[in-house]
Structure 1
Amino acid sequence: MIQSKKLLQLSTSAALLAALVLPQAAAAAGQANTVPAATLTLAKPSTTGSAEWSSFVKQQYGIQLSGTVTREQFSVALNKLVANISSISEKDAAAKGFLAAGNSPLAVSEAISAVVKAADLKELAYTYNDEKVSAVLKQAAITYTKGGSISAQNAQELAVAIDTGFVSSGQLKEAKVTGAVSADLAYQLLGKVAEFSGHYKNYLGTVGEDGIYGKLAQAWYESQIIKAGELQQVVDTALKQNLVTGYNLKDATFDPHFDPARTITYGHSDIIHAIQLIGLLKSEGIDAKVQFEPKTSAFIYLKEWGEPVQTDDYQVVQIENGNYIAYAKEYDLSFEFASVDEKKRFQPLILKYAKKDSEDAVGLLKGSWWQPLYHSRTELADYPVITNNLLKEGRFIVQSFSLNDQSAKVVEGFKKLDNKVDIESYQFWVDQPFYNYLLGEYK
């Protein structure tokens, strides 16, 4: 690991700054909170209710529904969602025939039939015999008889939807199978299709659950330094040419798909720090969904720093000028809080208990940094705005953070190295200490 004094030797040219989060000297751990945890009431994250489903589907897929949903609206929405999660065109999704388009009214039973097929549950549904179907539908006050108003196939689809949690028996009882589909129900059904395909919110657990610490530790020890083939060759070349001073490499399959308005992402390299941070939030009565996102940070290690010590979590490759490219295993923790107000409580705790201000600081979490790094995709007071210059290839993502007025130069440099690489730049909100680092300040 690079010691604090070596940080001073890193280039902090405003024109070339990138995301470079380096481990810094650990401060002595201290008691983070003097209020007994037993006296605190955790603010629970929202359960998966209608507001959660609608928020998720709107944000992730740009689908807008209201009132009573028509057959055409639901068909278009379902095809759009399936196209997105399957990486196919909407035309190809429509060709799968989940729901016949048209202007006729859409019944609840038809919408459920469509999503059961879209979620690849139809084979399971068609294993249900009449006795099993009748028993399940009875929970929703639906009487099923062979040759009745509900076809055998539709009855099987309704039964499997209840058993797998697409809808509850109570919901189906209230909505009625012949009833019109409300926007709330449509959002839920669409969200469930995403969930069954592995595209709903992706997280380890919550701050408030007892098992979160073990899950977090296990996720860390199972993670490895990420390698990304040709994409990594491009950004390593950028490092060699001093286009950037560092970059972060992530795997998009760990994306939590959280609500940006309620989410903060916090980066670090010490798993004990993460565990203590979870404990700190819990002791302060803050609950949130928690996702662990493996991350590799790459940066230039100067030869005058001496022979680097390599481990499974810290590796170097020597380059032509005698320096090294160092690859360090790190992580991001994404927190989705119960509300925006809960999200706002995060920064004061970090600045008080996880921000190092002196070499002999006490009362801090283990491994606290001079410049902690956490950020939000939505605006927060007292958070400066910077730019993420993001490169994508398949499941891999390279992040290179810069000052806003330097983003164009960074993007242009990447394009010169490979004009086919997929580059996206967007602005986001970051903590003041890290912004100061981008300006060239050490502390």
Structure 2
Amino acid sequence: MKLRNKWLLSGSLALSLIFSSALPLSTANAAAVKSTAVQQSSQSSSAEYELFLKEKFGITFQAGSTITKGQFIQQIADILGLEASEAKPAFTDLSTSSPYYSSAAALYEQGIITSLKVEPDQPLQATSAIYIAVKAAGLLELAHSYPQNKTTDALKQIGYSPAGLSLSASQELAAAVHSGLLPTSLYKEVKGKAASPELAETLLVQILSIKGDYKHYIGYTTDADIYGKLADAYDTSDLIQSPELQTVVDTALKQNLVTGYNLKDERYDANFVESLSLTYGHDNLKHAVQLIGLLRSEGISAKVQLEPKTSAFIYLKEWGEPVQSDNYKVVQIENGNYIAYAKEYDLKFEFNNTADKARFQPIILQYAKKNSEDQTGLIASSWWQPLYYSLTNLDGYVQITNNKITGQGHYYAQSFSLNEQSAAIVEGFKKLGNDLTIQSYTFWVDKPFFNYLNGESL
């Protein structure tokens, strides 16, 4: 719809083997190929985990370094956002002045560590890391449900015998094996060893994943079933309603403080690493399907998440009687105009590398940016001012500001503006809502959308 362009504000590894004959691989060669694939997949996962922990939490590991138990306890508290209460556990070997005390106290309160003897300066043993990780991931009840035969079978996979272990210890190791908390690639890292940086790193990410706090995505652009997943995600989303927030931002619309805003639900947040990610907004499912196909045709593989979005703007009465549907509602306001609420989406992409992220813009400008009414060679429903942006700086992008309002629940409203307009918008929001969290931050958007904010047609 032409009108919609005027208000916008708002692990797999593929191996290719070439053989000189049609004879099948020997058993030895097949095993070697499998081993290489597992090793390469493990290395790929490790690099992804490393970047995620560094960008999200500032956690880094040095190859070959010794990790202490105190460091791991602190890292667990950081990723889970745990803080100690006013209670002061009397650890036998950890004073309140220790940099690890508050983290240890927080974990002790949660039952993630159970002893008053912490040994913070001792090298972290692999088994100790797993015991802590099982509890931190919320798997303790599962572990303690294990009968002996199930426990024994699981421990055989990591070269352990239950003999010499307490029942709870053997159960927790077994649950780590079966749940995937401990990946098969790291089985060899457990028995009688200190925790390696790779093991500690993997356990931290697996804890987040099991608790639903790692990345969220429906698939990859290259998945065979990605189109069905995309359609399901779009079809099961509805117009977002948050009366608390809408009271504020609808008033802002009426006062011309903003010309539009988006409502989103943080539960759909992709949680991708910012340096590899872009967000692309639109309202048409066919466009999303063709965009995925376009990226595939250009050899780009990326994770994809569909984040539902409702966009609101002023619909002028002189545009005629609005046609409503399940995806498009209007409410008339005092001056005879309407506030329109339209179902849209943001596609979040996390690319394999920064080069693919940089390639996204030339692809969009060639195949998904409308420059004339009779233009051909574009994917369906291409906009005059496409909207896509990055939270990190990119060549050819322009900096603008997001003015964001968060309420008590999981919904938030946001309105994009030129940087110099942000202070007035934020101040206006503050006057309209006392119990809301209001923040602003800069990010980088495509030039056509920046031009739109400046009142230019292209």
TM-score (norm: length of structure 1): 0.87
Against the structure 1 CA distance between its residues 352 and 2, is the aligned structure 2 distance closer, same or farther, given a 3 Å change threshold? closer
Cα distance in 1 for residues equivalent to 2:389 and 2:171: 47
Q: Alpha-carbon deviations, 1:120-150, whole Å to 9, x = none?
A: 11111112222222211112222332xx1x2
Cα distance in 2 for residues equivalent to 1:395 and 1:327: 19
Contact 2:402 / 2:440 at 8 angstroms: preserved in 1?
A: yes
Partner of 1:410: 425
Contact 2:158 / 2:191 at 8 angstroms: preserved in 1?
A: no
Aligned residue type for 2:3: Q
For residue 161 of structure 1, the aligned residue among 144, 164, 176 is: 176
For residue 145 of structure 2, the aligned residue among 108, 111, 127 is: 127
Partner of 1:152: 167
For residue 67 of structure 2, the aligned residue among 66, 69, 72 is: 69
Are positions 1:401 and 2:411 aligned together?
no
Aligned residue type for 1:68: T
Residue 81 of structure 2: SS of its match in structure 1? helix
Aligned residue type for 1:114: I
Contact 1:256 / 1:291 at 8 angstroms: preserved in 2?
A: yes
Following TM superposition, by how much is the alpha carbon of 1:276 offset from its aligned partner in structure 2, in angstroms?
Answer: 0.2
Residue 403 of structure 2: SS of its match in structure 1? strand
For residue 20 of structure 1, the aligned residue among 9, 19, 23 is: 9
Partner of 1:267: 281
Following TM superposition, by how much is the alpha carbon of 1:232 offset from its aligned partner in structure 2, in angstroms?
Answer: 1.4
Contact 1:248 / 1:296 at 8 angstroms: preserved in 2?
A: yes
Aligned residue type for 2:137: A
For residue 108 of structure 1, the aligned residue among 113, 116, 126 is: 126
Partner of 1:206: 220
Q: Alpha-carbon deviations, 1:241-280, whole Å to 9, x = none?
A: 0000000111000000111111111000010000000001
Listed as ranges, the matches of 1:297-376 within 5 Å are 297-376=311-390
Cα distance in 2 for residues equivalent to 1:47 and 1:226: 40
Are positions 1:56 and 2:70 aligned together?
no
For residue 83 of structure 1, the aligned residue among 81, 84, 91 is: 81
Are positions 1:421 and 2:436 aligned together?
yes
Residue 397 of structure 2: SS of its match in structure 1? coil
Listed as ranges, the matches of 1:185-264 within 5 Å are 185-264=199-278
For residue 281 of structure 1, the aligned residue among 292, 295, 302 is: 295
Q: Alpha-carbon deviations, 1:356-403, whole Å to 9, x = none?
A: 000001010110000000000111101011111111122112111111
Contact 1:259 / 1:336 at 8 angstroms: preserved in 2?
A: yes
Contact 2:368 / 2:379 at 8 angstroms: preserved in 1?
A: yes
Against the structure 1 CA distance between its residues 365 and 282, is the aligned structure 2 distance closer, same or farther, given a 3 Å change threshold? same
Against the structure 1 CA distance between its residues 94 and 243, is the aligned structure 2 distance closer, same or farther, given a 3 Å change threshold? farther
Following TM superposition, by how much is the alpha carbon of 1:92 offset from its aligned partner in structure 2, in angstroms?
Answer: 4.6
Q: Alpha-carbon deviations, 1:131-188, whole Å to 9, x = none?
A: 222211112222332xx1x222111111111111111344132x23332222322121
Residue 456 of structure 2: SS of its match in structure 1? coil
Following TM superposition, by how much is the alpha carbon of 1:335 offset from its aligned partner in structure 2, in angstroms?
Answer: 0.6
Percent identity of paired positions between Structure 1 and Structure 2: 52
Bigger Cα displacement from structure 2, 192-201 vs 101-110: 101-110
Partner of 1:182: 196
Against the structure 1 CA distance between its residues 46 and 349, is the aligned structure 2 distance closer, same or farther, given a 3 Å change threshold? farther
Are positions 1:291 and 2:305 aligned together?
yes
Cα distance in 2 for residues equivalent to 1:380 and 1:127: 51
Cα distance in 1 for residues equivalent to 2:398 and 2:373: 26
Q: Alpha-carbon deviations, 1:66-86, whole Å to 9, x = none?
A: 42221111111112222369x
Partner of 1:30: none
Contact 2:234 / 2:285 at 8 angstroms: preserved in 1?
A: yes
CA RMSD across the alignment: 2.3
Residue 226 of structure 1: SS of its match in structure 2? coil
Cα distance in 2 for residues equivalent to 1:51 and 1:438: 38
Q: Alpha-carbon deviations, 1:276-313, whole Å to 9, x = none?
A: 00001111111100000000000000111111111000
Contact 1:46 / 1:52 at 8 angstroms: preserved in 2?
A: no
Contact 1:60 / 1:257 at 8 angstroms: preserved in 2?
A: no
Structure showing greater relative contact order (alpha-carbon pairs closer than 8 Å, 6 or more residues apart): 1
Cα distance in 1 for residues equivalent to 2:319 and 2:41: 46
Following TM superposition, by how much is the alpha carbon of 1:112 offset from its aligned partner in structure 2, in angstroms?
Answer: 0.5
Cα distance in 2 for residues equivalent to 1:45 and 1:189: 16
Following TM superposition, by how much is the alpha carbon of 1:64 offset from its aligned partner in structure 2, in angstroms?
Answer: 3.9
Residue 343 of structure 1: SS of its match in structure 2? helix
Number of paired residues?
405
Contact 2:155 / 2:173 at 8 angstroms: preserved in 1?
A: yes
Against the structure 1 CA distance between its residues 47 and 428, is the aligned structure 2 distance closer, same or farther, given a 3 Å change threshold? farther
Partner of 2:455: 440
Aligned residue type for 2:136: A
Contact 2:332 / 2:338 at 8 angstroms: preserved in 1?
A: yes
TM-score (norm: length of structure 2): 0.84
Against the structure 1 CA distance between its residues 376 and 121, is the aligned structure 2 distance closer, same or farther, given a 3 Å change threshold? same
Following TM superposition, by how much is the alpha carbon of 1:46 offset from its aligned partner in structure 2, in angstroms?
Answer: 9.6
**Which consecutive residues of structure 1, in runs of 5 or more, have no partner in the other structure?**
11-18, 22-43
Bigger Cα displacement from structure 2, 369-378 vs 45-54: 45-54
Contact 2:82 / 2:106 at 8 angstroms: preserved in 1?
A: no
Residue 345 of structure 1: SS of its match in structure 2? helix
For residue 156 of structure 2, the aligned residue among 138, 162, 180 is: 138
Contact 1:45 / 1:287 at 8 angstroms: preserved in 2?
A: no
Cα distance in 2 for residues equivalent to 1:252 and 1:176: 37
Following TM superposition, by how much is the alpha carbon of 1:416 offset from its aligned partner in structure 2, in angstroms?
Answer: 1.2
